[in-house]
Amino acid sequence: MIQLQPASQAPSVLLERPQDAALADALIERAFGPGRLTKSSERVREFAEFAPDLSLCAWRGEALVGVVRQWRVRVGATPAVFLGPIAVAADERSGGVGALLVEQACAAARAAGETAIVLVGDAPYFGRFGFSAALGKAVRLPGPVDQRRVLGVAFTPAGEALEGMIRAL
Ligand SMILES: CC(C)(COP(=O)(O)OP(=O)(O)OC[C@H]1O[C@@H](n2cnc3c(N)ncnc32)[C@H](O)[C@@H]1OP(=O)(O)O)[C@@H](O)C(=O)NCCC(=O)NCCS
């Protein structure tokens, strides 16, 4: 017999493990398509340090329904976290999985003593979690980017004054 889980039930959010990477990559690929590899965020991820302690997978049973990855970088001289990509399975969207992942990713970074999180994304979505373009306005990416989409949220005074190029930790 097939057991249906009510869609309203929150999925389990766990740290991404090495064995989850292929499923997570496939979910990201489905969400963004191949064009994502040309983005400036992808250039950052080429030199950033993957943070397995800050990267999360949302599971409904055996099914991966969402993923958010985070990376350690410097902005100018300040260590910071770079968030992305975040993707939720198409048939799970608008059910709060994305919000759960962003909130828990922020909580993990804050608990780890990080200064701030920076990302390239849509302010209308990320604004509800405290991200703002004001915090990202002096943050530079290694490639073309719409500066209004460079968003940040700070956890410490150093994180409130992020300035400069994103570079390797
Ligand atoms: C963005 C994404 C992760 C959100 O996941 P989710 O589980 O649907 O998010 P939530 O349930 O927490 O929030 C959904 C709400 O955010 C809104 N929303 C989603 N993407 C948005 C965006 N780019 N800009 C503004 N609002 C957005 C939805 O319209 C929805 O509103 P509704 O509840 O009124 O329908 C998911 O839509 C996704 O995987 N998209 C494709 C990949 C992508 O674009 N990721 C990066 C976004 S910058």
Residue 7 has pLDDT above 80, yes or no: no
- Ligand 1, atom 32, residue with closest C-alpha: 94
Q: Residue 70: its pLDDT value, please?
A: 98
Residue 158 has pLDDT above 70, yes or no: yes
Q: Residue 1: its pLDDT value, please?
A: 52
Q: Residue 37: its pLDDT value, please?
A: 78
- Is the CB of residue 102 below 6 angstroms from any atom belonging to ligand 1? no
Q: Residue 38: its pLDDT value, please?
A: 78
Q: Name the token pair of 4.
A: 């249906």
- Is the CB of residue 122 below 6 angstroms from any atom belonging to ligand 1? yes
- Ligand 1, atom 22, residue with closest C-alpha: 125
Distance CA 30, CA 82 (A): 21
Q: Residue 68: its pLDDT value, please?
A: 98
Q: Residue 39: its pLDDT value, please?
A: 87
At 4, the pLDDT band (50, 70, 90 cuts) reads low
Q: Which of 36-45, 104-113, 147-156 has the lowest mean pLDDT?
A: 36-45
Looking at residues 88-98, what average pLDDT do you find?
97
Could you tell me what percent of the chain has a pLDDT over 90? 91
- The residue whose CB lies within 8 Å of the most ligand 1 atoms, and thus the one to mutate among 25, 60, 93, is 93
- For residue 119, which atom of ligand 1 is closest to its CA? 48
Q: What is the DSSP letter of 31?
A: H
- Is the CB of residue 129 below 6 angstroms from any atom belonging to ligand 1? no
- Is the CB of residue 52 below 6 angstroms from any atom belonging to ligand 1? no
pTM of the model: 0.94
At 2, the pLDDT band (50, 70, 90 cuts) reads low
- Ligand 1, atom 23, residue with closest C-alpha: 122
Cβ(13)–Cβ(56) under 8 Å? Answer: yes
Cβ contacts of 80 within 8 Å, gap of 6 or more: 72, 73, 74, 114, 115, 116, 117, 118, 159, 162
Q: Residue 95: its pLDDT value, please?
A: 97
- Ligand 1, atom 46, residue with closest C-alpha: 86
